[in-house]
Homo-oligomer: A and B are copies of this chain.
Amino acid sequence: MTSHIHPTALVSPHAMLDENVSVGPFTVIHDNAQVGSGSRIDGNCELGYPTPLAEGLPLIIGRDSVIRSHSIFYQGSAFGDGLVTGHRVTVREKTVAGKGFQIGTLADIQGHCQIGHYVRTQSSVTIGQQSQIGNFVWLYPGVLLTNDPNPPSNDLLGVTLEDYVVVAVKSTLLPGVRIGRGSFITAHSLVGQDMPENSLVSGSPAKRLCKASDMRLNGDIRIRAYPWQKRFVRGYPDSIIEAWASGNLDISFQSEELEP
C-alpha cells in the first residue's frame, strides 16, 4: 500500500515515511522525521521540529501510531510502536518512550526524559525534564512532574515513577521524588517525599496512608482496587492480559514474547 499525503501538507523529501502512512492537511514534516508503517498523522501537526539541543538527531515514530491534529514533536525523540496521542500535544527533544504510549490532549512533555512501555497519560499532563517513568504508569489530567529543587536554578532533579504507579488528577510531584511500584496517589496531592512500593499517598503535603492494596473499590467493598491490573485490562496486548490473568503482575519486558 502507498502512503496518502494531503496535497497541502509540507513533507520534506528527507523525511522517511514507511509504507501506508497518511498525513493530514497543513501538517509540516521536517527533514529528520521517521514515521513507521501504518501510522496516521492528522492535520496541523509538526513533526521533527528542529532544535540545536538535538542537532542531527532524528524523530522516530513507531509503527501503527496515531498522532491527532495540532500536535508538535521535536527532533531527537523516539517512540515505540503504537503511539497514540490526543490533540495539541507538545513533545520536546530527547524523549524516549516504549511501546503503546498514549498521550492525552494538551500534554506538555518537556523532553530529556525516559518513559516505559504502555504508559498512559490523560489530558493536560506536564512532564518535566529528567523524569523517569516506568512501565504501565497512569497519569491523570493535570498531573505535573517537576524538576527544579531551587527555582530558579540550573539543577534538574527529575521525578521517578516505578512500574504500575497511578497518579490521580492535578497532583504535583516535587523534584527528585521516587514513587515505588504500584503506588496510588490521590487527586490534588502535593508529594514531596519518596514513597515505598504499594503505597496509598494522599494530601498536601502528601503522606502514606496505608498500602495501596488495602484500598477497596468505590462501589464494591469486596474487591481490592489495587493492583489495578488484576481488574482492568482494556486495550493492552493479549500476551500481557494473559500474563496478568495467570498471576504475573510484574511484567518487566525482558521476555521475548512481548517484542513486536
A-to-B contact residues, CB < 8 Å: 8, 10, 24-26, 28, 43-44, 46, 49, 69-70, 72, 86-88, 90, 105-106, 108, 110, 120, 123-124, 126, 128, 138, 140-142, 144, 146, 148-155, 166, 168-170, 172, 174-175, 184, 187-188, 190, 204, 217-219, 225, 228, 231-232, 234
Contacts and interface: CB of A to CB of B under 8 A. Distances in A.
Contact of A142 (B110, B123, B144): B144
Nearest to A223: B150
Counted per complex, copies of this chain come to 3
A152 B105 contact: no
A126 B43 CA distance: 23
Contacts of A232: 152-154
A153 to B, nearest CB: 6
B72 A46 contact: no
Contacts of A217: 149-150, 153
Contact of A153 (B87, B170, B231): B231
A19 B78 CA distance: 37
A144 B126 contact: no
B150 A172 contact: no
Nearest to A43: B28
A172 B170 contact: yes
A124 B124 contact: yes
Given A88-B88, A170-B172, A174-B187, 9 more contacts: A43-B46, A70-B70, A110-B123, A144-B169, A144-B170, A146-B187, A152-B228, A152-B232, A188-B204
Contacts of A123: 108, 110, 126
Contact of A150 (B49, B175, B219, B234): B219
Contacts of A170: 144, 170, 172
Contact of A172 (B86, B88, B105, B169): B169
